[in-house]
């Protein structure tokens, strides 16, 4: 029987647990920050941002776009678990830049029904970060919307570039 990647992960976990000691933390992030980012495999948030275990919430999806489910997680993060800052991270060379909403049509054609969700594809990275910031800032469910900042992570240099929320779309 050949091993699957999941088997490899299980073995890695056994090694991890051998040296693991109970950090004695509760569920409230130490640095009171929630980070919303793309699921991209090249984006190691803890390494890139100097984060340690227990520091933050990381909420990830395809694109790092602010969907209703991201708002759900942010609402719980702020109201039940005490975070007050939000950091949004998109990145260069994102897979979503190569998709369009045609993807929904293709799905419908193939499986006979449209998904209930939008693909949330985008062509203008900066503008999509701005839209994500606006969705967080205008959410009625969040307690804290004054410290919301958005960035593009460059997958070739490892550097973050901050996006000005007020800049003109398309620039």
Contact criterion met (CB below 8 Å) for 68 and 86? no
Quick check: 88 binds Zn ion (CB under 5 A)? no
**Contact with Zn ion (CB under 5 A) among 36, 51, 59, 94:** 94
**Contact with Zn ion (CB under 5 A) among 32, 33, 34, 40:** 40
d(C-alpha 31, C-alpha 83), whole Å: 8
The DSSP 8-state label assigned to residue 132 in this structure reads H
- By rule CB under 5 A, what count of residues binds Zn ion? 3
Instruction: Kindly indicate which of the ranges 3-11, 32-40, 51-59, 106-114 contains the residues binding Zn ion, using the contact rule CB under 5 A.
Output: 32-40
Quick check: 38 binds Zn ion (CB under 5 A)? yes
Nearer to Zn ion, 65 or 142 (CB): 65
| CA neighbor of 85 nearest in space, from 13, 126, 143, 155 | 143
Give φ, ψ of 6 to 5 degrees. Answer: -65, -35
Nearer to Zn ion, 40 or 120 (CB): 40
Least spacing, CB of residue 12 vs Zn ion, in Å = 24
Quick check: 120 binds Zn ion (CB under 5 A)? no
Nearer to Zn ion, 32 or 135 (CB): 135
d(C-alpha 115, C-alpha 39), whole Å: 20
Give φ, ψ of 20 to 5 degrees. Answer: -80, 135
Nearer to Zn ion, 124 or 147 (CB): 124
d(C-alpha 107, C-alpha 90), whole Å: 25
Q: Which residues bind Zn ion (CB under 5 A)?
A: 38, 40, 94
């Amino acid at each position: 029987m050949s091993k699957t990647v999941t088997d490899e992960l299980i073995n890695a976990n056994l090694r991890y647990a051998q040296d693991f000691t109970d950090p004695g933390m509760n569920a409230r992030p130490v640095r009171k920050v929630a980070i919303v980012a793309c699921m991209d495999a090249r984006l190691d948030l803890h390494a890139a941002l100097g984060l340690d275990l227990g520091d933050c919430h990381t909420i990830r999806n395809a694109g790092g776009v602010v969907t209703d489910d991201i708002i759900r997680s942010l609402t719980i993060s702020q109201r039940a678990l005490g975070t007050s800052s939000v950091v949004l991270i998109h990145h260069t060379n994102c897979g979503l830049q190569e998709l369009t909403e045609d993807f929904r049509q293709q799905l419908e054609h193939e499986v006979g029904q449209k998904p209930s969700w939008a693909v949330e594809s985008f062509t203008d990275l900066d503008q999509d970060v701005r839209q994500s910031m606006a969705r967080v800032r205008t959410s009625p469910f969040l307690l804290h919307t004054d410290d919301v900042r958005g960035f593009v992570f460059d997958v070739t240099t490892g550097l973050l570039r901050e996006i000005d929320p007020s800049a003109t779309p398309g620039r």
